[in-house]
Amino acid sequence: MIKILTVGGGGREHAAVEALHRSGAEIYAAMSTNNPGISRRAVKVLKVSEMDVASIVEFAQESGVEYAFIGPEAPLGEGIVDSLTEVGVKCASPSKDAARIETSKSFMRELLDSHNIDGNLGHATFHDLKDALAYIEDAPYELVVKPVGLTGGKGVKVQGEHLLNLEDTAAYVREIFEQDIGGAGVIFEERAIGEEFTLMVFCDGSTIAPMPLVQDHKRAFEGDVGPNTGGMGSYSAEDHLLPFVEKGERDAALRILKDIVDAMASEGCPYVGVMYGQFMLTRDGPRIIEINARFGDPEAMNVLPILKTGFADICKAMADGSLTEEVDFKNVATVCKYVVPEGYGVKSVSGKPIYVDERGVIDSSAVSYYANVFMHEGVLVTGSSRSVGVVGMGGSISAAEANCEKALSFVRGEAIRVRHDIGKPEIVQKRVEHMRQVRG
């Protein structure tokens, strides 16, 4: 049994903690909110800001942990892994330098350029508002506009979707600079046309081991409309591909991630931990939308429940540099749908009671993960972000979706909603047809 520190209290971290618990780890959890799912699996809990590195390091030393797994991106950017490593705690997560693959979008794009890695998109970065506004007047292609730094997955706006004319684009660029969103800087990227998919890998600095492909759904409402969110749900297939992704296309994406890992090692910042690749599958193959330095949320909820290899063993192997390319997953499809507060994506209605009948969920061939919820006077209540992730499993996407819907009947509350279309045959087939058109 290994003693492992986990940092973070969201749905992604609850999924990781459950996987660690199943593999026999002794868990010590540091989180800003008292996630009830994490708390019941932990030997000891420190309620603290994930950015309070000094207190978390002290907690790790007092607890005598051997390893650490960091869930969210913000403490990675703060250098929590570097501080834990200094006191002898081995980390299955990236250092501050390695986490730049997510914390600095310009670093990621420039790394791809300098090492001639496939899948890059046209891009330009500006730290001056006047220069940025001048660029959009005569940009060489339709643009995706992003703050340079971290925005929790919610800072991306696309010309032709969210930005309908030049005035919209200029207004958003001004907003990024004036409100200092993600650090005072903007990156413009070439808009890629196709279907998005996620490929995550485990990594020990040189070796990578792939996870099943997942497709996330960012838009708030059914039919892929409304504002972008942190992710309303996601699905994976029993063959670990996706209905619109061919094996050769998945292999091309995997080669890109391996090339990135090799490039980072050659730059003196070897990458250890989970790496998340979000790709756009285009007529010319996969193109990189973003690289993240941790599990996706909700994508972690699709892959971790079907993981056969012990997650504690994987974390140990990543931290020790002894990972093998083969990590085993069940040949099972998954569909995750997030229960969120009304108004999520614009202005959430929070502080309302929410009830989860966990036995009913499990009996529905599903699992549930607590995210942004709190105990208030003995009652579980919603926060302003996503509340509970419900993951159905089955022999096909349709079977997993049906089990997810069955399980959702055991989650009740005031002022909550779900994107019920995720994983349904109609929306999956829509992706297949779209890729058929894209491929020509």
CA distances from 257 to 94, 215, 264, 410 (A): 15, 17, 11, 39
In the structure encoding, which two tokens stand for residue 336, read together?
């995750």
Q: Where are the beta strands (DSSP E) in 149-194?
A: 157-158, 186-190
Domains, in order of start, for the chain: 3-96 (3.40.50.20), 122-190 (3.30.1490.20), 195-428 (3.30.470.20)
Residue by residue, DSSP assigns 293-320 as SS--TTHHHHHGGGB-S-HHHHHHHHHH
Both structure tokens of 265: 């090692």
**Predicted pLDDT of residue 156:** 85
pLDDT value of position 183: 74
Give 161's contacts (C-beta < 8 A, 6+ positions apart).
none
Amino acid code (one letter) for 31: M
**H or E stretch including 278?**
strand 272-282
Strand stretches in 154-224, DSSP E: 157-158, 186-190, 195-204, 208-210, 215-221
What tokens does 179 get?
A: 């409100």
231: left (phi over 0), alpha (psi -120 to 50) or beta: left
Residue 79, Cα to own-chain centre: how many angstroms? 19
Q: What angle, 0 to 180 degrees and rounded to 10, lies between the N-to-C axes of helices 425-439 and 397-408? A: 140
Answer yes or no: are the C-beta atoms of 393 and 361 closer than 8 Å. no
Q: Cβ atoms within 10 A of the Cβ of 87, count?
A: 10
Q: Cβ atoms within 10 A of the Cβ of 431, count?
A: 18
C-alpha–C-alpha distance, residues 75 and 286, integer Å: 30
The angle that helices 129-137 and 166-178 make with each other, rounded to 10 degrees, is: 170
CB contact at 8 A, 122 and 189: yes
Q: What is the pTM of this model?
A: 0.94
Element (H, E) at 39: helix 36-41
Return the sign of the alpha-carbon dihedral for residues 2, 85, 272, 6: positive
| pLDDT score of 409 | 98
Which residue stretches of the chain have pLDDT < 70? 152-154
Q: Which pLDDT belongs to residue 178?
A: 86
pLDDT in tens, 171-214: 999 999 988 877 778 989 999 999 999 999 999 999 999 999 99
Q: Where are the beta strands (DSSP E) in 89-179?
A: 90-91, 123-126, 143-147, 157-158
DSSP, res 104 = -
Rg of the chain's alpha carbons, rounded to an integer?
21
